[in-house]
Amino acid sequence: MEYSPSTSKPDILSTIFADLQPRKRLRYRIPFEVAMSHVCRRWRDVAFASPLLWKNIDVYSSESFDAVSSYLKRSHNCPVNIRIDIWQSDRNLDPHDGAISIMPIVDLLNEHATRWKTLLVFAYYRTTTNAILSRIKDLAAPLLERVHVVDDNMQTDLAHVIPFQQTFPTNPLFLLGGAPKLAVLHSNNLEQFPPLANVTTLHLRTSQSFFSSLDIDTHVFLDLATVCPSLSTLSIHSKYVGRWTVNDVAMPNLRSLWFSNSDTLAAKFLTTVRLPNLESLWLDCPHYQAINMIYDHHPRPSFLSLKYLTLQSFDYYASTKFSQVFPTIEALHLAYCNSFHITFLKQTLVEDRWQNLRTLAFRTTRETYAVKFSNILNELVIERHVGGRPILRVLMDSDLLTALTTANSVRTYTSLEELRADNYNDPWWILSHTNEERWV
């Protein structure tokens, strides 16, 4: 017997809907679940009776009220993901109007706070963000696992700010009723934090405003070490402003660390914060300056548990010093690096350096020196093999793999594969390709 979607039983049709629902949601496209509910009456009935189809609730402006109300009703009692992405509408309004106009939707969502699983707030004005967080200040969210709060840090002038703060306090704490399952937090404001006792993953990011920065100094990391005892994953994507006088701070549970900035924050952090169990480190910063500070520091810090190292936009000059500071790594990821000076990497690898290194991963935006890269890679793989310290795997993006002129020779001595989301075990690589990260 043959079945078609139009004749399938409701539970089968509901399963088909769930399997076909795309993970990525596009703002200007009719949502999948809405489209399915408009095909025919039968499909509409099945869609409305499938709560999980309506669990992702998007708010784009004050005009989203009716849609939010419908989604809350159709999702019944299942956990919901709330995304308040009002950056565009907020930018087009006066700061007062932007914050006030969204409050009816926030109040409606608050009635279902016990069902929140994910909460994203993305606004243009800091006053709008503060208004929303003030509104959820005392709520309890027992199922909430992830919070993402970002704005462009756009402020109003003083004449507007003072009276406005009388209604919406600046930088409020929020979710004071408790969020015991909250494990992941993204924020670009160090003063806007929910309870952090159970947070394991923290992303601190500068807003998109060109002049914005995070004021990161001693007290920030002293506080983090105290209030985030379970913190295992930390990324700091920001400009650094403030004095650095950290002394004897330990983060024993931290396993993964990522710096993306244009200053020496990474070096200051790595030389003064004890990280005995750090396994994965991603550096997108001035590498030469950072590694010199770490290398020359007395005493030089040790990272005996480090297995994965990513150097983004690296020029290869300081390869030897990196091998001396981080000697235990098993995998080296070189992301968007200029291959002109890859000879320095070869010199490091064929010397008695990085003895545990077994995986090399490469990504590039454009490979200008494909022939040189191909030849040097072939030589270093052969010499490591002959020296008894073989590179077991070489991973690279599809464009680079296509341009590799020595692929057949390289495959004689190592496994050569396209770098994919599922074949590199660096915790940062895995995290950046999870469905949850893509949704927020």
Kindly report the number of other CB atoms within 10 A of residue 278's CB atom.
Answer: 24
Return the pLDDT at 3: 46
Position 435 confidence tier, pLDDT thresholds 50, 70, 90: low
Q: Which residue has the higher pLDDT, 40 or 215?
A: 40
Q: Which residue has the higher pLDDT, 165 or 299?
A: 299
Q: What are 373-386's pLDDT values in tens digits?
A: 999 999 999 999 99
Contacts 24+ apart (CB under 8 A), 220-226: 220/190, 221/246, 221/249, 221/269, 221/273, 222/246, 222/249, 224/251, 225/249, 225/250, 225/251
Q: What are 30-63's pLDDT values in tens digits?
A: 888 888 888 898 888 888 888 888 999 999 999 9
Of 99, 238, 222, 224, the C-alpha closest to 172 is 99
Of 298, 323, 295, 296, the C-alpha closest to 309 is 323
Return the pLDDT at 261: 81
Return the pLDDT at 438: 47
> Is the pLDDT score of 1 beyond 50?
no
Please tell me the least confidently modeled range out of 55-64, 91-100, 382-391, 429-438. 429-438
Position 210 confidence tier, pLDDT thresholds 50, 70, 90: very low
Q: What is the DSSP string of 145-201?
A: -EEEEEEEEE---HHHHHHHHTTS-SS----TTB-TT--EEEES-TT-----TT--E
Q: How far apart are CA 105 and CA 101, in angstroms?
A: 9
Burial class, 245, CB count within 10 angstroms (exposed 0-12 / middle 13-18 / buried 19+): exposed
Kindly report the number of other CB atoms within 10 A of residue 344's CB atom.
Answer: 16
Give 118's strand partners: 81, 146
Tokens encoding 69: 């109300």
Q: At what angle do helices 95-110 and 126-135 cross, to 10 degrees?
A: 30
Please tell me the least confidently modeled range out of 60-69, 202-211, 303-312, 362-371. 202-211
Q: What are 171-186's pLDDT values in tens digits?
A: 448 999 999 999 999 9
Counting residues of the chain whose pLDDT is more than 70, the rounded percentage is: 85
